[in-house]
Amino acid sequence: MRRVVVTAAIVVAFAAPASAQVYDSVGNCISDGLYGNEPNMADGSLGGPSEQEPGSKGGNVLPSQSPGPFVNNPTDPDNPTRGRSVGGWMQDEVNIPELCRAVSG
């Protein structure tokens, strides 16, 4: 039962991000969806560099704070904490690549 609930929560999180993003690959889904490492745009545009108009990215891309699997704490941005990895989820029988393929269409 726990696996079903966790899997459902992950599917919802991947399938309904704030920007309603559709991931173009499993790697992008894991990086941007699970780990939240989509670079931010300095002008506040939704999505990262690959979702912007060609030629509009110069000087407008802010890097993600840290590579996953870390959890950023907005009140202490210099000290991200360790989060769950894809391998950790796989040990709990939650197949992240499979979930990413499902939401990537």
36-94 pLDDT tens trace: 777 778 888 777 777 777 777 777 877 666 566 777 777 887 887 888 889 999 999 99
Convert the pLDDT of each residue in 10-52 to its tens digit.
Answer: 555 554 444 445 677 888 888 878 877 777 788 887 777 777 7
Residue 20 domain flag: yes
Six token digits for residue 36: 């939240």
> Within a domain: residue 27?
yes
Q: Which spans in 1-105 are helix H? A: 2-15, 26-28, 86-91, 96-103
Identify whether 61 is part of a domain: no
Residue 22 has what pLDDT?
64
Report the pLDDT value the prediction gives residue 31, as an integer from 0 to 100: 80
In a domain, 44, yes or no: no
Higher-confidence residue of 96 and 59: namely: 96
The reported pLDDT for the residue numbered 18 is 44
Which residues, 6 or more positions from 77, have their beta carbon under 8 angstroms from its beta carbon? 65
Q: Please, are residues 76 and 2 in contact by the beta-carbon 8 Å criterion?
A: no
Give the pTM: 0.56
Contact 102, 33 (CB under 8 A): no
Range of the domain at 86: 2-38+66-103
In a domain, 72, yes or no: yes
